Amino acid sequence: MRFSRQMITVEEAMRRLMERLTMQGREEVHIGEAYGRTLAVDVHATDDLPHFDRSPLDGYAVRAIDTVLATPDQPVRLKVVETIAAGDVPKITVAEGCASRIMTGAMMPSGADAVIMFEQTVQPAAFLEEVGIKRALKQGENVSRHGEEIASGAVIVRAGERINAGTLAILATFGYTHVPVVRKPRIGLLSTGVELLDVDQPLYPGKIRNSNTWMLSALIAEAGGIPLLFPNMPDDLDVAKGTLAEHLKMVDVLVTSGGVSVGDYDVMAALSDEPEAELLFNRIAMRPGSPTTSLMLHGKPIIALSGNPGACFLGFELFVRPAVQKLSGVQGVQLRTIKAKLAVTYTKPCPYPRYLRGWLLEKDGVLYAQPDFNEKAGNLGTLKNSECFIVIPAGGIGKQAGELVEVLSHAAPSWKQEG
Positions that interact with ligand LQZAQKY5 (CB under 6 A): 191-193, 195-196, 208, 210-213, 257-263, 266, 288-291, 306-309, 311, 377-378
C-beta atoms surrounding 305 within 10 Å: 30
CB of 381 to Mg ion, least distance (A): 21
* Ramachandran class of 383: left when φ > 0, alpha when ψ lies in -120 to 50, beta otherwise: alpha
Closest among 209, 222, 165, 216 to 188, alpha carbons compared: 216
The listed partner (Mg ion, ligand MOO, ligand LQZAQKY5, none) that binds 57, CB under 5 to 8 Å by sort, is: none
When the beta carbons of 180 and 263 are compared against Mg ion, the nearer one is 263
The arrangement of strands across the sheet holding 278-281 comes to 226-229, 186-191, 253-257, 300-305, 293-297, 278-281
Binding residues for ligand MOO, total number by CB under 6 A: 8
Comparison of 128 and 203: residue with beta carbon closer to ligand LQZAQKY5: 203
If binding is defined by CB under 6 A, does position 306 make contact with ligand MOO? yes
Contact flags string 245-284 toward ligand MOO, x per CB under 6 A: ----------------------------------------
| Residue 253, φ and ψ in degrees, nearest 5 | -145, 145
Site stretch for Mg ion (CB under 5 A), options 85-93, 99-107, 187-195, 255-263: 255-263
Q: Which of 183, 184, 287, 321 binds ligand MOO (CB under 6 A)?
A: 287
Judged by beta carbon distances under 5 to 8 A according to partner kind, the member of ligand LQZAQKY5, Mg ion, ligand MOO, none in contact with residue 193 is: ligand LQZAQKY5
- Our CB check for ligand MOO shows the closer of 78 and 408 to be 408
Collapsing DSSP states into helix, strand and coil, what is residue 238?
helix
Nearest to 8 by CA among 293, 231, 264, 212: 293
**How far from the centroid of its chain's Cα atoms is residue 416's Cα?**
10
308 binds ligand MOO (CB under 6 A): yes
- Pick from 293, 211, 303, 220: nearest CA to 254: 303
Q: Which residues pair with 182 in a beta bridge?
A: 26
261 part of the interface to Mg ion, by CB under 5 A: yes
Which of Mg ion, ligand MOO, ligand LQZAQKY5, none has residue 293 at its interface (CB below 5 to 8 Å by kind)?
A: none
Which are the contacts of 95, defined by CB distance < 8 A and separation ≥ 6?
Answer: 81, 111
Q: Which of 266, 372, 375, 406 binds Mg ion (CB under 5 A)?
A: 266
DSSP at 317: I
> Quick check: 235 binds Mg ion (CB under 5 A)?
no
Closest CA relative to residue 233, chosen from 206, 249, 263, 254: 254
What does 191 interact with, of ligand MOO, ligand LQZAQKY5, Mg ion, none (CB < 5 to 8 A by kind)?
A: ligand LQZAQKY5
Backbone angles phi, psi at 398, to 5 degrees: 80, -145
The size of the interface with Mg ion (CB under 5 A), counted in residues, is 3
Please give the span between the terminal C-alpha atoms of the chain, in angstroms, as a whole number. 42
Q: CA 71 to CA 161: how far, in whole Å?
A: 51
Q: Of 121, 213, 290, 294, which lies in the binding site for ligand MOO, with binding defined by CB under 6 A?
A: 290
Residues facing 257 on adjacent strands: 191, 305
- Which of 288, 322, 329, 358 binds ligand MOO (CB under 6 A)? It is 288
Instruction: Cite the DSSP H helix spans in 83-160.
Output: none
Q: What is the C-alpha separation between 409 and 392, in angstroms, rounded? A: 14
Least distance (Å) between residue 290 CB and ligand MOO? 5
Residue 9 DSSP one-character state: -
Evaluate the omega torsion of the peptide bond into residue 288 and state whether it is cis, within 30 degrees of 0: yes
Whose Cβ is closer to ligand MOO: residue 288's or residue 358's? 288
Contact 180, 41 (CB under 8 A): yes
210 or 328: CB nearest ligand LQZAQKY5: 210
Shortest distance, CB of residue 282 to Mg ion, whole angstroms?
13
**Least distance from ligand LQZAQKY5 to the Cβ atom of residue 218, Å:** 14
Site string for ligand MOO, 311-350 (x = CB under 6 A): x---------------------------------------
DSSP 318: I
Contacts with Mg ion, residue ranges (CB under 5 A): 261, 263, 266
Contacts with ligand MOO, residue ranges (CB under 6 A): 287-290, 306, 308, 311, 377
